[in-house]
Every structure is written in structure tokens, then in C-alpha cells.
Amino acid sequence: MKALLLENIHPAGIRLLTDRGYEVETLPSALGEDDLIAALDGVDLLGIRSNTMLTPQVFAAAPRLRAVGAFCIGTNQIALDEATRHGVAVFNAPYSNTRSVVELAIGEIIAMARHLTDHNARMHAGEWVKSAKGSHEIRGRSLGIVGYGNIGSQLSVVAESLGMRVLFYDIVDRLALGNARRMESLEELLSEAETISLHVDGRTANRGIWGEAEFSMMRPRSLFLNLSRGFVVDTDSLKRHLDSGHIAGAAIDVFPTEPKKNGPGFDNPLRGTPNVILTPHVAGSTEEAQENIGYFVANKLADYAENGSTVLSVNLPAVQAQRPGARRIMHLHRNVPGVLATINTILAEHGTNIEGQTLATRGQTGYVVLDIAGEVSDAVVAALKAMPEAVRVEVR
């Protein structure tokens, strides 16, 4: 089988797939829709990061595609409903770069509190300004975390270990870690926190949630970080509050519009603004995190292609399928009553003996893995594919 890996997937992922016998093609950048459709001809497994958009048209034009690996946390760049409708499994790496994001957030909080970017710029310009004015320790100061999931909660623990007072707000009821305090409303959080760090996910409902009203509610001379999603924040509003001095500093790693490849082409209103740290979507991009992600996602792709295992799939029912010595049938179907009975009837009518069977459902999708004693005839495969509920049927 053939795998196509885009956007500089870490060599650990390439090596794993190659060692397991896959033909692997790599490209350093994302592809537009037309180029991607052309590149997917003959491809079974696709690996991407955040800049490759998998539209409904891509899935419709790639019937051979079996699985997609998002070598990152988010999957909002993937039309998941269409992937499911075409029987394509999607995997991501929801925990592999958590520590990297947290460490960057802590480093940027300290850098802004100490005005390190300003000191650095002056020194490079040959100007010596030794002064404590405007520089503060983060110990004893309050950090407000918006979004208390995997990253937000770990940031909470690390910040508290450095002496910060941690407050958080989440629309989901989350258990506070350590001495962190859950706030009942965003307004309450903003009235107390001296630094705000956003760690929300990429769901559509989060688009534009942080704008003029939210910046206005923040405490004067507070710090602001966004290491979550670019479309969450109104950059023009942030610029106005930085220019007025209401916001003392900002660290931004994600942007509403990001270049598709490295090099010139980045433009944003925040460029050139004092005490603003701009980074090119690298919060999770450490060698350690990318190696972990590369190995983790590539292994999930290979396990699905070889064994039918869908554990931690974003869009398919979870089936832990350890491969015995038998042949395996993987049957993805619409989740309606009677499908499993029909499958078993077809196998019985053709004298096919089942050694093991696992069924799981998720919303409108059902997935059954069958381990078969002996060979699986072409007639069995044809009958299973002919079922009106069938989405994808494969035999290993």
C-alpha cells in the first residue's frame, strides 16, 4: 500500500511506515485542492498537518483512500462527516505535544512580564538600558486560563509550581487541579486575572469568541496569549488595545490566515508592535513533540490498514483489533438495526466459520471486525459489499 505524507512529517513516522512495508512519498508543504486530488491517485494512507484542507471534494475524488492521519492536535481542517461517509478513518495526536505548548506559554509569560523582547531589540540596536521599570516576576501574579482541557490543565499545574495563582473558565464542568480555582463566568475570570491564556479547541462555535468586548473587560496592563486557534481572536481589536496601553503585552502563535509554506508572505496588523511575541504556529513544534506525534499517528494508520484497529479514531467507532493468525473482515456500515444479523447470515450461508467478532457503533456509523477460520471467498466479499448499509468492506 502507498502512503502520502505532507507538510514535513517527522522522520519517525516515515521510518515506521517504511519499515512496515509501505511505499511512502513525502512532500514538504500543503497542497491545494486540485493538486491534492491529483496526488491522491493510488494512495491508501494520507498524513497531513494543519495547513492541508481535506474538503468533501477531496474525499469524493479519492475512492482508494482508507485512512487519514492528522499529525497534530486539531482536525477542523478535515471534513469529518464526509470522511465517515466515504469510510475513511481519521486519527490525530491529541496529547503528544501538550507539554511543548505549555512550555512555550510559560516562557512567553515570563518574556512579556520582563519585557525581554524590548530589551533584546535595544541591545541588538546597540542601546544599553538597564532598568527594572515595568519588569515583574510572575510569582504571585494571577493567570486566567480559558479552556481547561489537556493543555489548559497542564499549564495550570506548571504555572502553579512557579508560584502563580491560577484561575480558569470552561464551558464544560472540569475538575480543578492543585489549587486552581474554577470561575463561574468569563466576566469573573477577566475581573481578577492579570494574564489571560486561551486554550480552546477548533469547533465552529469558538470562531470570533474573543473581540472588543472581551479585551475591554480585561484588567488594565494585563497580558494576553493565544496558542489555540487563529480564528478565535479579533486581531484588530487586540491591536487597538495594545496601542492604547490597556493590554501590556501579547504572545500570538496562531493567526486567521497563515502562509501555506515557509518563507516570505506573512502579514498581520500586529507586526512591529512593541512587547508582542509573534511565532509561526510552533507551540507544539519541538523535536520531542514531533517525534512523538510522528510515531503515534503513523502507528495508528498502520494498525488500521493492517488490523482494522480504530482505537482513538476521531470519526469511527472504537474497536481494539489485535490480529490473530486468521483472516480478518472489516465491515464499516450505516448504523441501522439488523446489520450484524445479515452479516452473520451471509457468512453462514457460505459455510464461513467465525472465530471472533467485535462490533462498535458511533452515531450513524457501525463497525464490525470478524476473524475468520480459513479463507474468505470472493462470493462472501461480494455479498457483504452488496449490503445496502455497507460503506466499506475489506479483507486482510
CA distances from 309 to 75, 143, 300, 304 (A): 19, 41, 8, 5
Asked about 49 being catalytic, the answer comes back as no
Q: Residue 39, Cβ neighbours under 10 Å: how many?
A: 16
CA distance 139 to 33: 48
CB 317 within 8 A of CB 360: yes
Q: Is 291 exposed, middle or buried (0-12, 13-18, 19+ CB in 10 A)?
A: middle
108 in active site: no
The one-letter code for the residue type at 392 is R
Longest dimension (CA), the chain: 87
CA distances for 10 relative to 48, 168, 203, 275, angstroms:
11, 34, 26, 32
Question: Phi first, then psi: what are they for 249, rounded to 5°?
Answer: -170, 160
Following DSSP, what letter does each residue of 279-305 receive, concatenated? -SS-TT--HHHHHHHHHHHHHHHHHHH
> Is the Cβ–Cβ distance between 69 and 300 less than 8 Å?
yes
Is 327 known to be catalytic? no
Instruction: Identify the active-site residue in 219, 281, 331, 333.
Output: 281
How many residues belong to the chain?
396
Distances (CA, A) of 294 to 7, 202, 280: 12, 21, 20
Q: Annotated catalytic residue: which of 49, 115, 199, 229?
A: 229
In sequence order, the 6+-apart residues with CB closer than 8 A to the CB of 290 are 10, 12, 71, 97, 284
How far apart are alpha carbons 33 and 21 in whole angstroms?
28
Please report where in the chains the cell 514538504 appears, as a residue.
28
In our burial notation (b when 16+ CB lie closer than 10 A, e otherwise), range 325-344 reads ebbbbbbbbeeeeebeebbe
Strands (E), the chain: 2-5, 23-26, 45-48, 67-70, 89-91, 142-146, 165-169, 181-182, 195-198, 222-226, 247-252, 276-278, 327-334, 353-362, 365-373, 390-395
Among the listed residues 258, 306, 355, 389, the single catalytic one is 258
Catalytic (active-site) positions: 229, 258, 281
